């Protein structure tokens, strides 16, 4: 099978004709579909359509809670994390590289049809920013905060709002894993009271606030709010660079399935977490960027054919996010499809004999419609 | 099991040979008069000329005045000439004194035996003619009669002609005699007689015409096809030099058919011919459900692809079942049953 793989790759390589100078020619079988460039900062159009490797320790550090579930399973199976470099991600990276941090934060909205790779693009950008030393505020899926919540507490800080201790504590834990080193450096700006007895003094490292939130689950949501406000202020002052990455941002302005005890529906604005996050996503601070993704799959009460920002965000959300840079993500181009297919072949994921033939490849392309998610699901049983 | 391949001639029962008179001649004459009168009345009602009112006009008028939704055409109201409605009957074979007219009456099958006698007479005639020709040393064979395109009358048709019942043995013997007659070289003399007992077989089965490719403004070849399945009707236009993109009712197939099974159905014709990425397709479909629409588009695309492909491959497609209309439709619910097959729950008491 490897011989066949070699023949296929050499043929494809001759056809494609462009070889990145950073690739070692000795790595022949992997040359076409992979790059040895694991730093997203150096990714450019040459690397388009190719897969780059993220070392597993980095994955655990940077993405405790960001990657899609199927991708995590794939990492476990193949024992490596390979992300494809695609055009929308490259676009975003160029914008970020060229962005002026003194200006108010620019908002980017990644949108596209179902299963085209929006979350993966977001993860690519997050990886880049963490490599560059930014502080990454990654919310894996905002929809998790507006549905399936078992416990709702009335907030002690503000009587109208509702707390979600479980979600907040889970998020704080993951935040701690991903941004350990920053938590010691950043200091709080003022004193915060947690209930009657505990308080955090001014000048304490932010790590203490996080510990407080984890220890006292009841005030976890308030801890989250404090963290967000501190980060915003510090970034505005210019002491650090902040990336706010929100997946499924349309959850912040939609409806929620949660109900209060008197069975009246809860609007997302009444939830502390959502309220604070909305404040983060407003571009009244500078020194960073806001990258968001729209998601239809987790969204509530939205038809499955809705893709565009206007449909998914609704009027309220659209107005709130208004000056943003839209970044559409499409299905695989033929080149990207080939590289994904080649990767599956190489890792012996496609076991069926016919899958190795040209006809099999054409069939896979037809049946999946070059949609990454469909291709992944199709290749699973093969 | 319903036999689809036999013709209606085999299935029809022969009513004429079943028994002697059930309708008198006077009765038949009266029916004919009534029919003609009714025809004139009908022509007046429809505002047409009574003199030139043909049977087709009658059929149309009856279908208009008495519309019926019954599936069986024979069960619908019809107005036909009595000779078509009442089958031919054998007239009474004996006179007033009780003496039969025909000399072979007491054999029981008078027309059959008279037919056999006549055929044998002609056979002897031909042999005599042949002997004469041999005596004069003239060439015997003129032309070979083409037997491939004709068949003999079936037993039922022969019964209809003779108006009496035959047994299988009798029929076989008659056919053997005819074949012996035809085998003789000088049988051309009795050609008229033989033609009474032979029928043309439509040799050419309905040949399906494969349409040639059409070219649109850009110079790209395309062809259309139509297909149906259950209640779904689809039309497909297959373009050459494509990338394998398929559009259904204006949307991509990934959105229109989220289920893998439907997309596999669409893939099948292209995969069979090995032309997966080579053609573009634009189709419209309506009616039916998800599976039915997929099946209809599959048939339509297979029909459209016939124009792009050699005859041998068309034959392969036909054998693979890509070109046949699926006859399965929803079966009718019957009274006394809950569904088409399910009976009501049986209660012992």
pLDDT value at residue A87: 85
If asked whether residues A252 and A320 sit together in one domain, one would say yes
Residue B238, domain member (yes or no): yes
pLDDT value at residue B300: 93
What's the mean pLDDT in B122-127? 91
DSSP, res A117: S
Instruction: Select from B264, B274, B277 the residue whose CB has the most chain A CBs within 10 Å, as the one to mutate to test that interface.
Output: B277
Whether residues A359 and B252 touch (CB distance < 8 A) is answered with no
If asked whether residues A69 and A129 sit together in one domain, one would say yes
- As a whole number of angstroms, the distance between CA A120 and CA A202 comes to 38
Phi-psi region for residue A115, left (φ > 0), alpha (ψ -120 to 50) or beta? left
Instruction: Select from A297, A305, A333, A367 the residue whose CB has the most chain B CBs within 10 Å, as the one to mutate to test that interface.
Output: A367
- Strands of the sheet with A106-112, listed across from one edge: A135-139, A242-247, A288-293, A106-112, A324-329
ipTM over 0.85: no
Angle CA(A211)–CA(A217)–CA(A218) in degrees, nearest 5?
Answer: 125
If asked whether residues A308 and A354 sit together in one domain, one would say no
Residue of chain A whose alpha carbon sits nearest to that of B244: A366
Instruction: Select from A112, A366, A376 the residue whose CB has the most chain B CBs within 10 Å, as the one to mutate to test that interface.
Output: A366
For A345, the domain range is 334-380
What's the mean pLDDT in B337-348? 90
Per-residue pLDDT of chain A (382 residues; tens, 9 = 90+): 344 444 444 433 433 333 333 444 434 444 566 776 767 777 777 777 788 888 888 888 888 887 888 888 888 888 888 888 888 888 888 888 888 777 888 888 888 888 888 888 888 888 888 888 888 888 888 888 877 777 777 777 777 788 888 888 888 888 888 887 777 777 777 777 777 677 777 777 788 888 888 888 777 888 888 888 888 888 877 777 888 888 888 778 777 777 777 878 877 778 888 888 888 888 778 778 888 888 877 677 777 777 777 777 778 888 887 788 888 888 888 888 888 888 888 888 888 888 888 888 888 888 888 888 888 888 888 7
Residue B6, domain member (yes or no): no
CB A375 within 8 A of CB A340: yes
pLDDT value at residue B186: 79
pLDDT value at residue B196: 86
**Residues linked to residue A194 through DSSP beta bridges, in sequence order:** A198
Contacts of B277 in chain A (CB under 8 A): 362, 365-366
**0.80 cut: is pTM over it?**
no
Residue A3, domain member (yes or no): no
Whether residues A359 and B274 touch (CB distance < 8 A) is answered with yes
Interface of B with A (CB under 8 A): 244, 252-255, 260, 263-264, 267, 270-271, 274, 276-277
If asked whether residues A199 and A344 sit together in one domain, one would say no
What's the mean pLDDT in B342-349? 88
Exposed/middle/buried for B173, CB within 10 Å: 0-12, 13-18, 19+?
middle
If asked whether residues A296 and A355 sit together in one domain, one would say no
pLDDT tens-digit profile of B274-324? 888 888 899 999 998 999 999 999 999 999 988 888 888 888 888 888 888
If asked whether residues B265 and B220 sit together in one domain, one would say yes
* Rg of chain A (C-alpha set): 22
If asked whether residues B157 and B61 sit together in one domain, one would say no
Helix A165-178 / helix A220-237 crossing angle, nearest 10 deg: 40
Token pair 């008078």: residue: B110
Residue A37, domain member (yes or no): no
> Which distant-in-sequence residues (6+ apart) come within 8 Å of B169 by Cβ?
none
Residue A100, domain member (yes or no): yes
Residue A297, domain member (yes or no): yes
pLDDT value at residue B2: 55
If asked whether residues A207 and A66 sit together in one domain, one would say yes
CB A212 within 8 A of CB A200: yes
If asked whether residues A269 and A367 sit together in one domain, one would say no
If asked whether residues A222 and A353 sit together in one domain, one would say no
If asked whether residues A238 and A354 sit together in one domain, one would say no
> Which distant-in-sequence residues (6+ apart) come within 8 Å of A256 by Cβ?
A146, A147, A265, A266, A267, A268, A271, A300
Please count the structural domains in chain A.
2
CB A47 within 8 A of CB A35: yes
pLDDT tens-digit profile of B74-121? 899 989 898 888 877 777 778 888 888 888 888 888 899 999 999 999
Residue of chain B whose alpha carbon sits nearest to that of A334: B243
pLDDT band of B33, cuts 50, 70, 90:
very high
Contacts of A362 in chain B (CB under 8 A): 244, 276-277
Residue B305, domain member (yes or no): yes
Residue B278, domain member (yes or no): yes
If asked whether residues A240 and A353 sit together in one domain, one would say no
Exposed/middle/buried for A375, CB within 10 Å: 0-12, 13-18, 19+?
buried
CB contact A378 to B (< 8 Å): yes
> What distance lies between CA A174 and its chain's CA centroid?
13
Residue A361, domain member (yes or no): yes
pLDDT value at residue A22: 40
For B146, the domain range is 105-200
Chain B nearest CA to A301, separation (Å): 19
If asked whether residues A295 and A198 sit together in one domain, one would say yes
What does residue B200 show for φ and ψ, rounded to 5 degrees? -75, 135
Please count the structural domains in chain B.
3
Residue of chain B whose alpha carbon sits nearest to that of A378: B260
If asked whether residues A269 and A365 sit together in one domain, one would say no
More confident residue, A151 or B260: B260
Mean per-residue pLDDT of chain B:
84
Whether residues B255 and A305 touch (CB distance < 8 A) is answered with yes
């Amino acid at each position: 099978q490897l011989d066949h793989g070699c023949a296929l790759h050499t043929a494809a390589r001759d056809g494609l004709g462009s070889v990145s100078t950073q690739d070692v020619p000795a790595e022949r079988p992997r040359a076409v579909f992979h790059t040895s460039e694991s730093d997203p900062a150096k990714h450019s159009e040459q690397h388009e359509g190719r897969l780059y490797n993220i070392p597993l320790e980095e994955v655990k550090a940077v993405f405790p809670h960001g990657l899609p579930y199927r991708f995590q399973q794939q990492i476990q199976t193949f024992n490596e994390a390979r992300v494809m470099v695609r055009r929308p991600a490259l676009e975003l990276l160029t914008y970020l590289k060229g962005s002026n941090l003194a200006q108010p934060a620019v908002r980017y909205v990644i949108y596209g049809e179902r299963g085209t790779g929006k979350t993966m693009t977001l993860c690519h950008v997050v990886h880049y920013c963490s490599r560059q030393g930014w502080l990454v505020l990654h919310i894996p899926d905002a929809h998790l905060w507006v549905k399936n919540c078992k416990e709702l507490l009335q907030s002690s800080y503000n009587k109208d709002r509702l707390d979600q201790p479980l979600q907040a504590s889970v998020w704080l834990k993951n935040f701690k894993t991903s941004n350990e080193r920053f938590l010691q450096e950043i200091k709080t700006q003022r004193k915060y009271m947690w209930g009657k007895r505990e308080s955090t003094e001014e000048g304490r490292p932010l790590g203490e606030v996080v510990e407080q939130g984890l220890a006292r689950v009841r005030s976890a949501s308030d801890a989250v709010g404090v963290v967000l406000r501190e980060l915003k202020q510090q970034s505005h002052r210019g002491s650090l660079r902040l990336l706010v990455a929100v997946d499924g941002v349309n959850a912040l302005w939609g409806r929620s399935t949660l109900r209060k005890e008197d069975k009246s529906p809860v609007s997302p604005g009444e939830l502390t977490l959502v309220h604070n996050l909305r404040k983060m996503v407003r571009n009244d601070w500078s020194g960073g960027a806001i990258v968001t993704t729209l998601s239809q799959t987790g969204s509530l009460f939205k038809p499955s054919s809705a893709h565009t920002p206007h449909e998914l965000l609704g009027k309220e959300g659209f107005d709130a996010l208004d000056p943003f840079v839209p970044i559409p993500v499409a299905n695989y181009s033929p080149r990207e499809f080939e590289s994904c297919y080649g990767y599956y072949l190489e890792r012996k994921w496609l076991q069926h004999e016919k899958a190795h033939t040209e006809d099999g490849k054409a069939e896979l392309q037809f049946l999946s419609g070059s949609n990454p998610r469909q291709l992944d699901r199709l290749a699973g049983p093969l | 099991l319903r036999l689809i391949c036999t013709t209606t001639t085999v299935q029809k029962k022969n009513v004429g040979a079943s028994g002697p008179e059930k309708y008198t001649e006077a009765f038949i004459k009266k029916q004919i008069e009534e029919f003609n009168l009714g025809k004139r009345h009908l022509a007046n009602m429809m505002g047409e000329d009574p003199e030139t009112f043909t049977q087709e006009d009658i059929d149309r008028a009856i279908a208009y005045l008495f519309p019926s939704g019954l599936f069986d055409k024979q069960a619908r109201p019809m107005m036909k000439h009595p000779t078509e409605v009442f089958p031919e009957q054998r007239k009474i074979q004996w006179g007033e004194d009780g003496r039969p007219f025909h000399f072979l009456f007491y054999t029981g099958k008078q027309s059959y035996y008279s037919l056999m006698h006549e055929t044998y007479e002609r056979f002897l005639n031909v042999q005599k003619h042949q002997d004469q020709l041999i005596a004069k040393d003239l060439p015997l064979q003129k032309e070979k009669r083409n037997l491939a395109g004709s068949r003999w009358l079936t037993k039922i048709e022969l019964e209809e002609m003779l108006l009496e019942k035959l047994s299988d043995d009798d029929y076989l013997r008659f056919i053997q005699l005819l074949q012996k007659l035809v085998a003789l070289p000088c049988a051309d003399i009795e050609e008229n007689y033989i033609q009474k007992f032979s029928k043309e077989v439509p040799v050419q089965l309905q040949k399906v015409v494969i349409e040639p490719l059409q070219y649109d403004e850009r110079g790209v070849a395309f062809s259309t096809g139509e297909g149906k399945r259950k209640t779904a009707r689809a039309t497909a236009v297959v373009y050459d030099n494509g990338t394998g993109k398929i559009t259904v009712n204006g949307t991509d197939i990934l959105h229109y058919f989220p289920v893998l099974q439907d997309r596999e159905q669409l893939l099948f014709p292209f995969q069979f011919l090995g032309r997966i990425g080579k053609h573009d397709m634009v189709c419209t479909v309506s009616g039916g459900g998800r599976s039915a629409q997929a099946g209809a588009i599959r048939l339509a695309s297979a029909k459209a692809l016939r124009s792009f492909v050699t005859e041998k491959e068309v034959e392969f497609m036909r054998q693979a079942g890509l070109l046949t209309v699926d006859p399965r439709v929803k079966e009718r619910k019957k009274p006394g049953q809950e569904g088409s097959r399910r009976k009501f729950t049986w209660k012992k008491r």
